[in-house]
Amino acid sequence: MPDTPRPTGTHDGPSVLVTGAAGNLGREVVDRLLAQGARVRRLVHRPTTGPRSAVESVVGDLTDPAVFRAALQGVDAVLLIWPLLDTDPAHHVVAELIAAAPRVVYVSSTAIDDGAARQSDPIVQVHVDMEVLLREAGLRPVVLRSDTMASNARGWGAQLRVGDLIAGPDMARTAVVDERDVADAAVTVLLAPDRTQLDPKTYLLTGPEVLDRGDQVARLGAALRRPLSFRPLPVDLARSRMLADGRPERLVEALLAASVRRPESHLITDHVERLTGTPAGTFARWAVDHAGGFRRESSDS
């Protein structure tokens, strides 16, 4: 059984539970909530150290009803980031959300085609299924449909620390969005004083320009002042490399399906600015700000 969190109702300000708090988006959300003076609780798989270790945490699995019930005690709002490729375990999550009745903010995908009976790939399909599940349960979620996040480029770090070539599965062009902008938007909604003006709504969060993988690599190269290049890999080769890296087979197949079947998108919205008051940042800005994570490894002898 999980430890019971400390009561949060004795302090001023809203209390927010962040699921997926150890991920790229979740960490940004936690930092912003703390800066806004919110009481933050994280749901994480394992205890952490460092600056965020002082944040109240519940350690365990989101899909464990007892863990999630404990994490929900006394919270006013929940940022729900669903980590799985199916929604069967989500029925327990929904039942606990109904009982606790917090504001629910769900991070989804702009790749959803609302007119399609089935979506392009398993990743998009599970987002549709989660949206339907939350809404049919009467939870009135605020849905933040995010475009491809710039932080996905962190996966190129190992290659760029040893060379100037990025090889991997290609993806269709899309308006890549800075995860910090998604975090700003999420915090705005989580802390909004009047939930009736937000629930239920869907926001489409995009960056300001449509990019393919080559465009992103070129902008990252400019930030690093290195002549980087991108080489798309055939599906079979990409599969074997991702499996060799230790990724679960089901996730690998879902990522490859997205690479092959997801259509390009020219959607650009102002929803980041509507929620935050600041226009969405460019991938070039993200690349400059994160260049340190891609520096070439030292070749000291």
Q: What pLDDT, on the 0 to 100 scale, is given for residue 51?
A: 56
Our count of domains for the chain comes to 1
Q: What pLDDT, on the 0 to 100 scale, is given for residue 300?
A: 45
Q: Is residue 112 part of a domain?
A: yes
Q: Is residue 101 part of a domain?
A: yes
Q: Is residue 254 part of a domain?
A: no
Q: Is residue 255 part of a domain?
A: no
Q: What pLDDT, on the 0 to 100 scale, is given for residue 46?
A: 79
Q: What pLDDT, on the 0 to 100 scale, is given for residue 273?
A: 97
Q: Is residue 26 part of a domain?
A: yes
Q: Is residue 141 part of a domain?
A: yes
Q: What pLDDT, on the 0 to 100 scale, is given for residue 10?
A: 37
Cα–Cα dist 145/112, whole Å: 8
Q: Give pLDDT tens digits for 159-190.
A: 999 999 999 999 999 999 999 999 999 999 99
Question: What does the longest C-alpha to C-alpha distance in the chain come to?
Answer: 63
Listed residue (27, 5, 30) closest to 16, CA to CA: 30
Handedness of CA 78, 151, 183, 106 (dihedral sign): negative
Q: What pLDDT, on the 0 to 100 scale, is given for residue 55?
A: 85
Tell me the pLDDT of the chain averaged across its residues.
Answer: 91
Cα–Cα dist 176/148, whole Å: 5
Q: What pLDDT, on the 0 to 100 scale, is given for residue 3?
A: 46
User: By three-state DSSP, how is residue 94 classified?
Assistant: helix
State which amino acid sits at residue 130.
M
Note whether 103 and 195 are within 8 A (CB): yes
The domain that holds 67 is classified in CATH as 3.40.50.720
Q: Is residue 291 part of a domain?
A: no
Q: Is residue 221 part of a domain?
A: no
The answer for residues whose C-beta is within 8 angstroms of residue 25's C-beta and 6 or more apart is 81, 107, 149, 151, 179, 182, 183, 186
Cα–Cα dist 239/280, whole Å: 33
Its pTM stands at 0.92
Residue with tokens 């994160």: 290
The answer for residues whose C-beta is within 8 angstroms of residue 52's C-beta and 6 or more apart is 21, 27, 30, 31, 42
Per-residue pLDDT at 141 exceeds 60: yes
Which residue segment(s) compose the domain that 136 sits in?
Answer: 15-147+179-205+268-280
Cα–Cα dist 114/128, whole Å: 9
Structure tokens at 102: 């917090």
User: By three-state DSSP, how is residue 189 classified?
Assistant: helix
